[in-house]
Amino acid sequence: MTDLHVKMKVNSVAKLTRGEELRTRLLELALTGVPDDQIAEILTREGHHSPNCEDKVLPITVQRLRLAAGIKAKAQRNRSTHEPTLLSAVQLAARLDIPVNWIYVQIRRKRLLIDQQSTGAYLFQNSPAVVNAVRNLRNRTIHHLDLRIIQPHQEGHQHA
């Protein structure tokens, strides 16, 4: 005989085995002003998971439970904090005077290949070569642009 433990997806926190414990701890952290993404990380480290995700607590789960309890976020974290040598998609779009949505559409359609940061953001090198390459993509001078970091066995970046 072999015992097998399986985490099953459920459709609400209340149906989780440790759902009430998750909710109580989440609200405790939210009341102290901890941002949603940090709460999600803390709860994941403590062994919790979201109803529809088997291996971690999602920030959206935290946000929904926090808002349902009537707790407003104390302070929003600035997701755009990054090195000055980098541009966010919003900053790049502003520099090129184009809609930021166009950048995201190109990424989704795989015409613009770029590594996504752990925060979910896309960060572009703040260099004339990269800005001009994206401009060329926008103007259809080129059809694809690869700004991904090359694998360790290769060197450098491809910019067009």
Residue 12 DSSP code: S
For residue 18, how many other CB atoms are within 10 A of its CB? 15
Residue 62 within a domain = yes
Range of the domain at 99: 86-146
Number of domains making up the chain: 2
As given in the structure block, the two tokens for residue 123 are 């960060």
pTM attached to this predicted model: 0.47
CATH assignment at residue 101: 1.10.1660
pLDDT digits (tens, 9 = 90+) for 89-142: 999 999 999 999 999 999 999 999 999 887 778 899 999 999 999 999 999 999
Residues facing 112 on adjacent strands: 145
* Sign of the CA dihedral running 37, 38, 41, 47: negative
Residue 79 forms part of a structural domain: no
